[in-house]
Amino acid sequence: MPTWVIILSIFAGIFSLASAIFDWEWFMTNYKAALFVRILGRNGARLFYALLGLALAGLGFGGAFGLIPPR
């Protein structure tokens, strides 16, 4: 896994997790996130973004520590 993919996935995961935890209004009212808010409700969208953040950060840390084998 390239280093830039590892760094990008870690930062994107932390950002997504932080937006779910702190319930940032500007994030949840963005037109892309608003779709999930309409479908899942506010708390459902927060849960979705928290799980997405954990998955992205986990992928990044897994690549950083060699838990994900290279292709």
Quote the number of domains for the chain: 1
pLDDT confidence of residue 1: 82
How many Cα atoms are found within 13 Å in the side-chain-facing hemisphere of 13? 18
**Spatial CB neighbours of 57, under 8 Å, sequence gap ≥ 6:** 9, 10, 13, 14, 17
In a domain, 23, yes or no: yes
How many Cα atoms are found within 13 Å in the side-chain-facing hemisphere of 11? 6
pLDDT confidence of residue 70: 74
pLDDT tens sequence across 23-40: 999 999 999 999 999 999
pLDDT confidence of residue 71: 73
In a domain, 71, yes or no: no
**Spatial CB neighbours of 20, under 8 Å, sequence gap ≥ 6:** 46, 47, 48, 49, 50, 53
In a domain, 17, yes or no: yes
In a domain, 8, yes or no: yes
Parent domain of 17: 3-64
pLDDT tens sequence across 40-51: 999 999 999 999
